[in-house]
Structure 1
């Protein structure tokens, strides 16, 4: 599989994740690598709707094979919130520390056995002239009471995946090495689910 794909993001960490998973034969570009265009608001009610909005617009504006990820954290005790509002939960988009602090405050009185949560990633593929496709990846775990670890981004320092609990080490997502996180994570699962369609798009 060779060629290039445009990921509709300016998040360098997401770009690196995708590049690691698809491999060196595919060049992964970001929005900073193409001419600017007015980006539509991500106002969908679901991760899938937002991913499709971004992927379809990016493919239309650039003519490139485009991927878009919309992802976030669903907390059981908060009825699935912050959900699609994850990146701006505290009011400012991408304010990771503030988002984490607000989430911890909201869960302060929630007992450990009710702190279940899951990361969700919806990944959309848009190829100019073709019907877009979208897949979903999920990663279950729980929310701890203080941030631990320096890897990753977003809510990673607060999220202990089920795999860590089963292994008995209780490591958060932010304590996993990149290869381990790619293998387990919601985004890794979504990307692997979409790889067959991406291969077809790159070969056609």
Structure 2
């Protein structure tokens, strides 16, 4: 069984990833202060993964989420956390007021490295939905404003969300890849 460090301080992400991976890995969560470079979601995730592998000295998994609003050419993208911290979900909604198109993609990018010096591998999951006025309570910043199939991610049962979310799709790709290693 692979011993794997999942670099996050978010216990809800740990719970979700552990539920999806099951007993395929021995997952240990570690919160590291990793600097985030400016760039694409993929570039940010690759750099975080490289640095995490160097810091831990072993196999690591990192995760980065983005919210890409179609009317805003993909903004806020990988910087969604900074947007939520600055303007909140109401501010994100207000960015779309002048636009008819409220479509957005939730994107989860996982980076895996087998250890220091090993080039990370990327696994990505996407979920297309709509930006709506906030509904529901969630531990993940923008989930109350992201609607899929009539419910926001914050309104969905844990089981339903775990079975269709952007994070679920990325982690399942990683799990399938691990099965062939």
Does the TM-score normalized on the shorter chain lie above 0.5? Answer: yes
Shift of 1:176: 1.0
Shift of 1:58: 1.4
Between Structure 1 and Structure 2, the one with more helix by share is: 1
The unaligned stretches of length 5 or more in structure 2 are none
Q: Is it true that 1:50 corresponds to 2:49 in the alignment?
A: no
The correspondence of residues 16-27 of structure 1 with structure 2, limited to 5 A, is: 16-24=15-23, 26-27=25-26
The unaligned stretches of length 5 or more in structure 1 are 165-169
Determine the C-alpha separation between the residues in 1 that align with 2:176 and 2:12.
23
The correspondence of residues 25-174 of structure 1 with structure 2, limited to 5 A, is: 26-32=25-31, 39-90=33-84, 92=85, 98-111=87-100, 114-128=101-115, 130-144=118-132, 146-161=133-148, 164=149, 170-174=150-154
For normalisation by structure 1, the TM-score amounts to: 0.80
Equivalent residues of 2:34, 2:52 under 8 A apart = no
Question: Per-residue displacement from partner, 1:141-187 (whole Å, max 9, x unpaired)?
Answer: 1111x2101245121111111xx1xxxxx111111111211111111
Correspondence for 1:4: 3
Between Structure 1 and Structure 2, the one with more strand by share is: 2
Shift of 1:196: 3.2
Determine the C-alpha separation between the residues in 2 that align with 1:197 and 1:85.
28
Question: Per-residue displacement from partner, 1:82-133 (whole Å, max 9, x unpaired)?
Answer: 001101015x4xx6xx42121112122333xx11111011111001253321
Shift of 1:40: 4.2
Shift of 1:198: 3.3
Correspondence for 2:162: 182
Equivalent residues of 2:50, 2:119 under 8 A apart = no
Equivalent residues of 2:49, 2:112 under 8 A apart = yes
Alignment length (residue pairs): 180
CA RMSD in angstroms comes to 2.0
For normalisation by structure 2, the TM-score amounts to: 0.89
